[in-house]
Amino acid sequence: MSWVTAPFSGALRKTTLIVVVLLVVGGVAVYALDPFGLRPQPIPDDTSDSEDGEIMITNGVKHIVPLDKILSGGPAKDGIPSIDNPKFTTAEEADAWLGEDDLILGVSLNGVAKAYPHRIVVWHEIVNDFVGDTPIVATYCPLCFTGAAFLRILDGETVEFGVSGKLYNSDLVMYDRKTDSYWSQILGQAIVGELAGMKLERITLDTLKWSNWKSLHPDTLVLSQDTGHFRDYSRDPYAGYYTSNAIIFPVDNEDDRLHNKAIVYGVEFEGHARAYPEVEMKKAGLANDDLADHPLLVVWDPDKEVVVMFERRVGDTVLTFELRNGRLFDQQTDSEWTFEGEAIAGMHRGTILNRIISPPDFWFAWAAFNPGTELFLASG
């Protein structure tokens, strides 16, 4: 296996916006276009550090990203309506309108499995739901192909999220209906507002074919087309976009090492980022890798047809894994493991590896949020 770092020139390019700037040396009056207002606003140099990085304050507004990088996606706030009272059907009922190869967002929690079909969430982007007694928000950004789920609890209170109508690096910007703070879906972090810098707790969500999900979870519940909104759920409004190399909205960093819409699974620790392209992982099968002193197992799950990641450390031992006739074993103890990260035979039977949540992204989206990312390539 190998990985490739970003070249110093050529592959990484900046996409910038034209902004109105006035700089007065002496009086030090600096103005920049305010995307939330109607006129340029002065930017004071009032900043402070937080555990998550630098929090800036502009005209009393807390933010961790430049305000002029948050752009309108077209629809107004809630113009793309979140689903706040979701209804569900059985797998058998959903078979009447879901195709075997249709993609879904799958969550399994508290003994309950739920599927959120792409053909529905592409129109809504956010589903405020409960899985068992756990309040979650399932999200999907069709521009970035990113599905992500979080606990929707802020300061001990269950809250709802909505679609702000804004984008940051072409990605969905959510807002919470408690403080009206803006949240980056890919970062899972508040980027503007009272809660700027706060991170949501992620929960595992897989993006996979309906046939694979229902095979693994035959009792799954499926988000109903009865959403309370009139939409044509048989039509994808983004048809043609997913295979085009074009990016509709500006991003901070572009990287031409892959097609912009190539599917990658990325991981980042302490500022070190690496992306694992889906096509490379299909060839490699698995990778015993290390990133920033974190030993990783990255494996192609043939049952789900997705890439999954785990920490390959058990106690004080770092395990090395291999595939034998499509089955997963560690070399140290010869224990057999499932692709869910659980040992089912051998010394480690019953042990469960810590899964690293790494949803699929379009390459351009991963590179925009992780400039200079390393890129995994299969050997041979």
- Its pTM stands at 0.86
Parts of the chain belonging to CATH 2.102.10: 88-223, 255-377
In this structure, what DSSP letter does residue 5 have? P
Residue with tokens 């698995």: 286
For residues 105 and 148, the answer to whether their CB atoms sit within 8 Å is no
- Closest Cα partner for 249 from 325, 310, 196, 172? 172
Q: What number does CATH give the domain 255-377?
A: 2.102.10
Q: What are the C-alpha distances in Å from 263 to residues 144, 191, 278, 321?
A: 10, 25, 6, 24
For residues 343 and 336, the answer to whether their CB atoms sit within 8 Å is yes
pLDDT in tens, the chain (380 residues): 666 655 433 333 333 332 323 222 222 222 233 333 322 233 344 444 344 458 999 999 999 999 999 999 999 999 999 999 999 999 999 999 999 999 999 999 999 999 999 999 999 999 999 999 999 999 999 999 999 999 999 999 999 999 999 999 999 999 999 999 999 999 999 999 999 999 999 999 999 999 999 999 999 999 999 999 999 999 999 989 999 999 999 999 999 999 999 999 999 999 999 999 999 999 999 999 999 999 999 999 999 999 999 999 999 999 999 999 999 999 999 999 999 999 999 999 999 999 999 999 999 999 999 999 999 999 86
Look at the domain 88-223 and name its fold: Rieske Iron-sulfur Protein (2.102.10)
